[in-house]
């Protein structure tokens, strides 16, 4: 008796699923012109890369600059290693449009002068 009820439940479930799939297949996909309009609206936003200055400005606006300065102080002895890691991670950062910022940060961390320049940017000091 239990086997038969399980089989009946499975048949009912399959019937419901096939109805849902049939309804989904019956809907029309968007016309190519509509698809092209959507893609053209999305592309400019996807192509804009963030620079390190954009990210530092955002961090300052959110009040995170003191925390980033502390992180910079902690990572300063290992800055060249962090720079190499950022260069390796740059292709992945391109997914979030942060590839340019990742490369710029790696370039800054690669030398003591660049690290000082990054510190000055976070402390609101003027660069000359």
36 DSSP 8-state letter: H
Q: Is the pLDDT of residue 126 over 70?
A: no
Lowest-confidence pick of 4-13, 16-25, 68-77: 16-25
Q: Which of 83, 76, 75, 72 is nearest to 107 (CA)?
A: 83
Q: Is the pLDDT of residue 111 over 70?
A: yes
Write out the two tokens for 82. 């962090």
Q: What is the pLDDT of residue 128?
A: 47
Q: What is the pLDDT of residue 91?
A: 85
Q: How far apart are CA 111 and CA 107, in angstroms?
A: 8
- Whole-prediction pTM value? 0.57
Burial class (CB within 10 angstroms; exposed 0-12, middle 13-18, buried 19+) of 18: exposed
**How confident is the model over 50-106, as pLDDT tens digits?**
788 888 888 889 999 999 999 999 999 999 999 999 889 888 888 877 788 888 889
Is the separation of the CB atoms in 62 and 122 below 8 Å?
no
């Amino acid at each position: 008796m239990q086997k038969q009820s399980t089989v009946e439940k499975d048949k009912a479930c399959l019937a419901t699923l096939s109805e849902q799939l049939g309804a989904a297949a019956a809907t029309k996909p968007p016309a190519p012109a509509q698809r092209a309009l959507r893609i053209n609206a999305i592309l400019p936003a996807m192509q804009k890369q963030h620079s390190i200055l954009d990210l530092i400005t955002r961090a300052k606006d959110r009040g995170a600059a003191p925390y980033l300065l502390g992180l910079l102080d902690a990572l300063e002895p290992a800055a060249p290693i962090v720079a190499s890691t950022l260069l390796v991670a740059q292709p992945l950062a391109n997914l979030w449009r942060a590839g340019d910022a990742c490369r710029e940060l790696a370039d800054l961390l690669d030398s003591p002068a660049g690290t000082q320049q990054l510190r000055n940017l976070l402390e609101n000091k003027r660069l000359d």
